[in-house]
Amino acid sequence: MGEMNAAHKRYLIRLAVVMTVYLGSLFLAEWLIEDRGVTGAPAYALASVPGLMVAAIFWLFSRLIIEEQDEYVRLIYVRQSLIATGFAMSLAGVWGFLETYKLIFHLPAFWWPVMWCLGLVIGGAYHWATGWYRGARA
């Protein structure tokens, strides 16, 4: 979207590392726990890794906000994360009550961080559409 600076480059590198570990650990957990029947402590450890990589997404976006030197771009990131949080938490709240009264199917909890990431995309698109990135190189 905007010009890519050092903070944004670090963010993308960290994101690539986290997503690689996430996909690798997910594959391993599926294979070893689901197919090979691994149980006990190794299963707990293995099943925790994809979740910890989801936690790392929040950490690396926080680092992006902290490390961004351009105050205006930093403001956009903060506003984007507020939109993402509002979107994901609102959806979780509404979905939770619908689920409680059995009006809708059960959704595993790991989908809410995914909704947060979708909220970031929505936040980015909103700022782009409303001219917050005007002046940036295409």
Partner 1 sequence: MKNRLKVLRAERDWTQGDLADALKISRQSVNAIETGRYDPSLPLAFQIADLFEMTIEQVFLKDEA
Name the site residues for partner 1 (rule: CB under 8 A): 2-3, 5, 69-73, 75, 131-137
Q: Which residues contact 2 (CB under 8 A, 6 or more apart)?
A: 8, 73, 133, 136, 137
From the CB of 131, what's the least distance to partner 1, in Å?
A: 7
Asked if 133 and 2 touch (Cβ cutoff 8 Å), the reply is: yes
CB-wise, 21 or 75, nearer to partner 1? 75
Asked if 80 and 120 touch (Cβ cutoff 8 Å), the reply is: yes
From the CB of 126, what's the least distance to partner 1, in Å?
A: 14
For the chain, the farthest-separated pair of C-alpha atoms sits apart, in whole angstroms, at 55
CB-wise, 69 or 100, nearer to partner 1? 69
From the CB of 125, what's the least distance to partner 1, in Å?
A: 16
CB-wise, 25 or 81, nearer to partner 1? 81
Asked if 123 and 83 touch (Cβ cutoff 8 Å), the reply is: yes
The SS3 of residue 71 is helix
CB-wise, 5 or 85, nearer to partner 1? 5
From the CB of 9, what's the least distance to partner 1, in Å?
A: 14
